[in-house]
């Protein structure tokens, strides 16, 4: 098979998986661009930040950082805490990214929540190159986020149509991905650990600071119950 058709085939296979992300990223990206726009930043800021950071929650947070006095150490710590969940994604992707050559670098660079979730769970059709499939999922997501936030930064406040509730598209996507994973597993110990640990930590630590405690709690539970979980089997 020619190289061109390998790529085209992978792009065709990858695109449908990214449609919900297109909706979600354009909505959130526009919101982010508008937010920067009304905070007094030129569209260059959301444009460049969506390219080099490519992490929504931190980029929203960075707006208030950019409007406060310069505090590099605090910025670093806050950014590391918001982004710490990527460590888990990396550990889960160690095997799947093996032997991807130069693509591996971009796959890791662009491993946001959504790219990770799709690349981890998607049933890649037979005959489609895995590396190119994951590459295009990541590239398309990156492009949606980049174009959405740039557009928001430019046309920003001109938009007035009623999009209230559209952000639920991300929640719905993660619900479906969670459900797919759930249906794939025989036992649901780890899914329960993730849900319960996060809910309990959300109640104790509040909406803005429960991610790190949740991650520690999940790690602790998975470590403590390693032998029953492994004995139960069914880990794909």
Partner 1 sequence: MTLMQKIITIAICAFATMATRFLPFLIFREGKPTPKYVQYLGKALPAAIFGMLVVYCLKNVDILGGSHGLPELIAIIVTVALHLWKRQMLISIAGGTVCYMMLVQLVF
User: Based on CB atoms, which residue is closest to partner 1, 8 or 92?
Assistant: 92
Burial letters 182-214, b for 16+ CB under 10 A, else e = eeeeeeebbeebbeebbeebeeeeeeeebbebb
CB nearer to partner 1: pick between 5 and 227: 227
Cβ-based burial of 219 (10 A; exposed 0-12, middle 13-18, buried ≥19): middle
Q: CB of 144: closest distance to partner 1 in angstroms?
A: 15
> Nearest Cα to 17, choosing from 100, 183, 140?
140
Q: Could you give phi then psi for residue 128, rounded to 5 degrees?
A: -100, 135
- Angle between helix axes 72-83 and 211-224 (nearest 10 degrees) is 50
Minimum CB–partner distance for residue 154 and partner 1 (Å): 19
Nearer to partner 1, 8 or 230 (CB): 230
Output the smallest distance, CB 37 to partner 1, in A: 16
Structure tokens at 60: 């929203």
Q: Which two tokens stand for residue 108?
A: 């890791």
CB 186 → partner 1: shortest distance, Å?
A: 12
Question: Judged by CB, which is closer to partner 1: 7, or 79?
Answer: 79
- Residue with smaller CB distance to partner 1, 34 or 111: 111
Residue with tokens 């598209």: 169
Q: How far is the CB of 38 from partner 1 (least distance, A)?
A: 17
């Amino acid at each position: 098979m020619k190289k061109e058709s390998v790529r085209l085939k992978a792009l065709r296979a990858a695109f449908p998986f990214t449609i919900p992300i297109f909706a979600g990223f354009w909505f959130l990206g526009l919101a982010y661009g508008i937010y920067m726009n009304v905070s007094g930043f030129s569209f260059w800021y959301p444009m460049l930040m969506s390219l080099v950071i490519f992490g929504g929650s931190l980029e929203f947070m960075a707006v208030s950082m950019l409007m406060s006095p310069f505090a590099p150490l605090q910025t670093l710590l806050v950014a590391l805490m918001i982004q710490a969940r990527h460590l888990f994604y990396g550990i889960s992707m160690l095997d799947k990214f093996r032997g991807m050559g130069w693509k591996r670098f971009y796959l890791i660079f662009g491993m946001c929540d959504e790219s990770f979730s799709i690349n981890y769970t998607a049933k890649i059709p037979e005959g489609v190159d895995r590396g190119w499939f994951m590459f295009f999922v990541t590239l398309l997501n990156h492009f949606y986020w980049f174009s959405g936030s740039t557009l928001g930064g430019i046309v920003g406040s001109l938009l007035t149509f009623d999009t209230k509730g559209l952000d639920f598209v991300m929640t719905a996507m993660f619900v479906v991905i969670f459900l797919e994973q759930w249906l794939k597993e025989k036992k649901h110990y780890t899914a329960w650990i993730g849900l319960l640990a996060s809910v309990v930590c959300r109640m104790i630590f509040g909406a803005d600071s429960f991610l790190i405690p949740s991650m520690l709690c999940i790690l602790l539970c998975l470590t403590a119950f390693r032998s029953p979980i492994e004995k139960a089997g069914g880990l794909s």
